[in-house]
Homo-oligomer: A and B are copies of this chain.
Amino acid sequence: MNEYFKFYMPTKVCFGVGIAAEITEYVEGKNVLIVCDPFLYQSGAAKKIGDRLEGRHVAYFSEIEPNPCCESVDKAANAARQIKADCIIGMGGGSALDVSKITACLVTNEGSIYDYYAGGKRVLGERKAALICIPTTAGTGSEVTNVGVFTNQQTGIKMPFVTDAFWADYAVIDPELTYTLPPAVTAATGMDAFCHAIEAYWNKESQPMCDMLAMEAMRLILNHIKTAYDEPCNAEARSAMLQASLMAGVAFSQTRTTGIHAISFPLTSEFGASHGIACAITLPAFMKLSCEQRADKMKRLTAYLGYDCVESFAAAIERLMESMNMPVRLRQIGVKSSDLEHIAKVGLEASIIQLTPAVMNEETVCRLLKSIL
């Protein structure tokens, strides 16, 4: 029984097939900057949203790379200031949504993101521009969190920025926008959402409301990810995956993540693995470890999901990943035995690793990494 917990998630969630077309219902303001992934700009998907905003000045910013760097953020902020944006719409995966969040703040907070984050000396003031997040992957959950993750181009260090100003006013979640996701992206982002859910569930900061959302997110992903991978336009599977990433997002917005995400940072920045792959690759190993301090909870979870024990659950996850052509061994993404110690060290620098329900130190993390080399 959890004795202490908090819950705060003030974003208005709107979920429905086709609701992105009703974007005018959510937009307040006259000058709108749509911050989106380059692909969504090129494909015309972002323009489809912008074209609905008749009578408003609409501009686009799409110079966003995966794991967005602070320099891109500053460019987006300048674009927003130029049009005196009073509404920012983020559209895309986690990268675009994260950039949209900080951009909405920087319109009226002068200077660079570096002034406010990772050693910057200024305190971010109130966000005055409206902020609407429209996810186009079923993974990030960024539309319902107060976190943005940015990379310092000079140091290569990827760090989360957490502030209440990042809670979007609206999360507009439309499964139709995910029908064009390629299978590999469906798999990687879907397994990222699964990690959010299980890391919220076994988290040292776990709490009963989030436990329920996390359990259901995992059930939905296990039941639907392979169908979404095989049949990109399967409406039921896409809807289920987006509901799952929403619930997982709400869950980890309260608890934060754990070792899986901590270790993913060096796997992404130094070995180029996509965020979803960098997370999922250590998932089965962390699952086996979770029983160290969460045996009862894991028993309840495996029963809910229909597995005998954590071992068979972890094995099923590994088979599922293989069935979607995802790597399940570190060497498949270029990691060598001699890299393990360094990966462990960098991972241990992320404070979230201590929310893992097991002892986390160089020895235990190296042993875990070795087991999946």
Contacts and interface: CB of A to CB of B under 8 A. Distances in A.
A5 B216 CA distance: 16
A209 B250 contact: yes
A236 B4 contact: no
A27 interface: no
Nearest to A11: B8
A19 B3 CA distance: 10
Nearest to A8: B12
A208 B1 contact: no
Nearest to A215: B212
Interface in A2-23: 2-17, 19
A247 B208 contact: yes
Contacts of A11: 8
A213 interface: yes
Contacts of A142: none
A243 interface: yes
Contacts of A46: none
A208 B243 contact: yes
A239 interface: yes
Interface residues of A, number: 33
Interface in A187-212: 207-209, 211-212
Interface in A71-100: none
A12 B6 CA distance: 7
A215 B215 CA distance: 12
A240 interface: yes
Contacts of A240: 1
A50 to B, nearest CB: 23
Contacts of A2: 15, 243
B209 A1 contact: no
A1 B212 contact: no
Contact of A6 (B9, B14, B208, B247): B14
Given A8-B12, A9-B9, A13-B6, A239 B1 contact: yes
A252 to B, nearest CB: 14
Nearest to A5: B15
B10 A15 contact: no
A9 B8 CA distance: 8
A276 B239 CA distance: 37
A196 to B, nearest CB: 15
Contacts of A12: 6-8
Nearest to A7: B13
Contacts of A5: 13, 15-16
A11 to B, nearest CB: 8
A214 to B, nearest CB: 9
Interface of A: 1-17, 19, 207-209, 211-213, 215-216, 236, 239-240, 243, 246-247, 250
24 contacts: A1-B236, A1-B240, A2-B15, A2-B243, A3-B16, A3-B239, A4-B15, A4-B17, A4-B19, A5-B13, A5-B16, A6-B13, A8-B11, A8-B12, A8-B13, A10-B10, A208-B247, A209-B213, A209-B246, A209-B247, A212-B212, A212-B215, A212-B216, A213-B213
Given A3-B16, A4-B15, A5-B15, 11 more contacts: A4-B16, A8-B12, A9-B9, A15-B207, A208-B247, A209-B246, A209-B250, A212-B212, A212-B213, A212-B215, A212-B247
